Structure 1
């Protein structure tokens, strides 16, 4: 039953990740790039490659992959998990803004289309040759008929010309008054003024209607050449005789090809105002990407910079006056691994030693890997210095990596492992228990062995990796439990998730007569990023009520 439940949860998480990646691809790639372009192909490739790298980073260590391969996939794979989180949050915030913009854009488009149709229906343009334009679809008609010739040699048109086609021509004004109308032997002449048609007679000369038709044909050819000469130069410009399709393009299709023709009979509309849909998508995607890069970049810097020192005073009722001011440097969740290595350990050791503690407590999750791979990175721990020594208890990640080999190795480095054991220090008892993850190997916590037979008149400080064992600490009379494990949530809003599984996520709280302090940890697991939960090394200063 447990296996079925775990499998179902894993499939659900996998399906969710697939849906999230597809949604981000739509918003960040499809909506912002042109089909078939290099940018879209690159974005699509990354949409497949990055999640695969994340899966490889999560599984490489447990699958027994070579350490060099773990290190290769760890940085991009783990870092993408942090980017994925904050990019998804940023795009979720942008979704309502996008919906509002699209709604306003639709209303603006409808309004512009209606206004354009109304203007097109009300325009009446006088045409050359006595033809009047009365609106879209209106049948042009001449204002007056030409006067017949006075001589028998006179003819109304050039040989073979048919003047009856004049009324079937679209309404087009001549471009200029001085355009020549080539005819059968005709001379260049100025176009007739509106309402004053001019008749030209004589052998070999065309009539006014014929001249008008020929001039119109000439203008059409000229306009066609101008429209095809530089289509990109006309994009976004007001509609002219050289670009008769521009009027039909509206905000309803902001990404329409500027050279696309307008369907016949479509109403004219004014040019759209504001930004196009694709440009708006690019603005949103760019803003989200910039916010994500800033957040993840600063969070990564905080981890690589090293933990800050935090100081907390904890009064204990049974602590003698002589122990007042006793300082315990608490460090947890160092997570030496394929990303955080020797330099990370060195920074932590140097920071601890600068606090000059009386005792050092390493409360679990020291490593993510084997001694063979990470032994050199853990070597700086040999330099820890304190008056009463350094102590270590296991965390859940030690059992993922081989707890026994690390218990033996930290002993070689000068730390004292407390495996369900206790040490009687001059003024209080220091106890430690194994992590509950050791139960699968028969090495779980044993509170009876650690705290069961002690003198309860003395104060007891318990080292336990997970805060969840606080109930047992209260039961066995521990005065203070020092823990880690939660990372303080590590990546906001992870703290709210951590609260579901832990009584305390970070800081000091009291449970009955026992106080619990939870450190945020000095390293990071998975993405080397912390947001809203800075890493720390805590100096716990014990205080006596008798002081």
Structure 2
């Protein structure tokens, strides 16, 4: 087992080294004339960025002083996102590179092939005209035909050599290869920075409300239109703090829900560090209350403490438990990560002995828990965890590990809704997976 882990670690390290060498080559080596400060600075930027990224990850997991986590988190996690999109942009640039060089080569060849001509001004001095006439007469005296003499008005001028000041070569200073490398590298850097910048702004401005109607066969007519606000993966931590929590709370309250379901990954840190950041959750308002289940990240930072804290803030934790709402049963199970602490999900404890004639809504952080939900006859499971992939093309990776990445899908008689989440983990950035707070509107088939 140790050998397998060591080989895996070496493989990952090798891939990272190769990728970062490629970034350095394309962004710094290929865009400069030779060894110098620019190349050395590029190596320091890339190495320093990864040092900050690794430091941010280790500090968070090791529970380092919170001031240190905050210091490392912004530059470290943003570098992770920037590296991803620099790599993708440069790989896309590999397809553009030969096309651009071919275009420049053809343009240069065309400039060499077509001579340019100069016209002697009509106002040339009379003396020059007389010299031209004398020259023509001399030609005739020598027995040469008139056609052999150069035209008096047009004088052919050969094209300037490639690279000379008069050449059409676009890279009169640097070579065409260097010119192309600078264009592609600059465009890739601009695209990556723009993508990460907008994706970060998209997270910091807060999640948008998404509305989904879900019909339930067992739901009574009186419950038609019942609204459940689903929020997951807020990820309060070194980057997203109290202000972000207040934005989330205000957004949820603006939907005037009947019930609020917080389905895990509320925090990335301890109650000691993040208690003040989570305090706005006490302002959540819903007709039938707010409920909470653990996600995998709660177990990284003390799940028992956070369960006690959210209860103090007025939320109702459902730890493998069920409560009877006016029109349906609401159940919740612990996250799979809790198994390492003997606090894993227990569907039997949460769902046994319930009235099968009543509709049942289950809160479970990870979508993979849908299979047990189907076995227990759950009507609707509410989940998060995937972030919708968070950073494209991460959605393809998430799809390999989860039955549903985002949205509503049916599994037999059970429906699964997966929220993309309100916040972000690691980089405070989303690309192709906008954050959301979903208002589930239950529909009765008897209505």
- What range is the shorter-chain TM-score in? 0.7 to 0.9
* Residues matched between the structures, number: 401
Residue among 337, 341, 350 paired with 1:450 = 350
Q: Deviations over 1:37-73 (max 9, x none)?
A: 4333322210210111111111112223211111111
Q: Which of the pair has more CA radius of gyration? A: 1
| RMSD (CA atoms) | 2.4
Cα distance per residue 1:431-489 (max 9 Å; x no partner): 00000011111111000001111110000000000000111000000000000000011
Deviations 1:484-539 (A, max 9, x none): 00001111111111100001000000000000000000000000000111000000
Q: What's the CA shift for 1:109?
A: 8.6
Matched, 1:274 2:143: no
Query: 2:61 is paired with a residue of what secondary structure?
Result: coil
Q: 1:399 matched to which residue of 2? A: 299
Does 1:288 pair with 2:287? no
Q: Deviations over 1:319-342 (max 9, x none)?
A: 011111111000000000000000
- Give yes or no for contact 2:230–2:263 (8 Å, CA) kept in 1: yes
1:141 is aligned to none
Structure of higher RCO (CA pairs closer than 8 Å, 6+ residues apart): 2
8 A contact 1:393–1:418 mirrored in 2: yes
1:61 partner SS: helix
Counterpart position of 2:382: 482
| CA deviation vs aligned residue, 1:329-368 (integer Å, no higher than 9, x gap) | 0000000000000011000000000111000000000000
Q: Distance in 1 between matches of 2:44 and 2:5?
A: 30
The aligned runs of 1:401-440 (5 Å cut-off) are: 401-440=301-340
Gaps of 5+ in 1: 120-237, 240-245, 259-269
- TM-superposed CA distance for 1:315, in Å, is 0.5
Measured in 2, the distance between the counterparts of 1:429 and 1:7 equals 48
- Taking the TM superposition and a 5 Å limit, the aligned residue runs for 1:177-192 are none
Distance in 1 separating the partners of 2:111 and 2:413: 73
CA spacing shift, 1:463–1:294, aligned 2, 3 Å: same
Is 1:57 aligned to 2:69, yes or no?
Answer: no
Deviations 1:75-110 (A, max 9, x none): 011001111111111100111222344567678899
Between the aligned partners of 2:318 and 2:339, the Cα distance in structure 1 is 16
Maintained 8 Å contact 1:34/1:40? no
1:340 is the counterpart of 2:240: yes
Name the counterpart of 1:357: 257
2:192 and 2:313 mapped to 1: Cα distance? 40
Query: Which residue in the other structure is 2:284 paired with?
Result: 384
Aligned partner of 1:306 in structure 2 is 206
Q: Given the superposition, is the C-alpha separation of residues 43 and 59 from structure 1 closer, same or farther in structure 2, using an over 3 Å criterion?
A: same
Q: Which has the higher helix share?
A: 2
| 1:517 lines up with 2:413 in the alignment | no
State the partner residue of 2:9: 10
- TM-score scaled to structure 1, two decimals? 0.70
Structure 2: state its 5+ residue gaps: 116-156
- For the 8 Å contact 1:521–1:536, the answer to whether it is kept is yes
Distance between the aligned counterparts of 1:72 and 1:37, measured in 2? Answer: 31
